[in-house]
Amino acid sequence: QKEVEQNSGPLSVPEGAIASLNCTYSDRGSQSFFWYRQYSGKSPELIMFIYSNGDKEDGRFTAQLNKASQYVSLLIRDSQPSDSATYLCAVNTAYNTDKLIFGTGTRLQVFP
């Protein structure tokens, strides 16, 4: 079983819609969860982090964490073509808080 799993996509949504990106993780002791956005040819850019169960909102982005079910999701409201990128989920390990385990990423395509 992969430590951090994401659907590779592509996930295609029309402009203005809500994009929902999901991630599951295997280490039940993980404490911190991150969403990075990576444009083609660029390096990852942190857009959200969450470490408490529930929702965390930042502008058009909402991160949702459910530790009991071991999943974390990212919602993007009012999706724009500029949101088209690969979204990486990262989870810290329970035994080494500096170590992040990344998923393979979900490619999002927002079409006009």
Partner 1 sequence: ETGVTQTPRHLVMGMTNKKSLKCEQHLGHNAMYWYKQSAKKPLELMFVYNFKEQTENNSVPSRFSPECPNSSHLFLHLHTLQPEDSALYLCASSQENARTSGNYEQYFGPGTRLTVT
* Interacting residues with partner 1 (CB under 8 A): 4, 31-32, 34, 36, 42-46, 49, 51, 88, 90, 92, 96-105
Distance (Å, whole) CA 27 – CA 25: 6
| Measured CA distances, 82 to 38, 53, 54, 68, 112 (Å) | 12, 29, 27, 33, 10
Q: Tokens 């502008």 correspond to what residue?
A: 59
Closer to partner 1 by Cβ: residue 43 or 82: 43
> DSSP for 4-18?
EE-----EEEETTSP
State both tokens at 33. Answer: 């969860």
Q: How far is the CB of 92 from partner 1 (least distance, A)?
A: 6
Min CB(98)–partner 1 separation in Å:
6
Shortest distance (Å) from residue 108 CB to partner 1: 17
Q: How far is the CB of 16 from partner 1 (least distance, A)?
A: 29
Closest to partner 1 by CB, 23 or 79: 23
* Cα 20 to Cα 22: distance, rounded to the nearest angstrom: 7
- Choose between 79 and 87: whose C-beta lies nearer to partner 1: 87
